[in-house]
Structure 1
Amino acid sequence: MAGSPQPNWPALERLKEELQREFRKQGVDHVEYVLAFSAPFDVWVWLGTATDAERDTLAADRALDDRVRAAADRCGLAEIVRGTAVESNETVDREYDGQWFYRLR
């Protein structure tokens, strides 16, 4: 619908790039979002790693949420980030037939 509020897609793309840079050394190879359907478009961030071991190590990082929120703040999105989750491709392959779509739901 014309004139309907929309998520800030350019800022979300910048955040994705920021998070990939921030967490690359910890095995993050992709970033996914789950967004609310209406304004203010709250966001839940999913960080994806290749292995369960990488996922477990990153999930144990006490600074994980603070680091995600700092990246979101740099992109002007800190106020809408509601949480962070970490998952591995190994688990998605094993338990969700390789479909991130089903894991995120």
Structure 2
Amino acid sequence: MAKTYELLQCAAALFEDSFMPAQQMEYVRIKMYDSMQRIRPLALTVVDSFDFTDAELKSVLGRRDGNVYEHLLEWAKQSPINANDVLPFHEKYLGSFMKEVREEREMSKI
């Protein structure tokens, strides 16, 4: 499947350089979609069989309980990056720069 995907990613170059005719490329595309359709019902089961946690996958998507959005919101609330309303670098770098620009603008109005 991965090789088929790679083949389709460079389809334009293969077609342009006459390595593969358009109808053959279309056949490959159809076969890939057929394969994906057969694999789709098993995909979640296969991933679940590895018993990865959501934290290891760094994702709450594909949860068995179906509460993706609720868990996504909770995960975002618990993220260290969301501990403050404004991140420290903003005050340190952007905040002072924005203050300077505002002051210059006020001075130019006078």
Q: TM-score range by the shorter chain?
A: under 0.3
Higher helix share: 2
Greater RCO (CA < 8 Å, at least 6 residues apart): 1
TM-score scaled by structure 1? 0.23
Higher strand share: 1
TM-score scaled by structure 2? 0.22
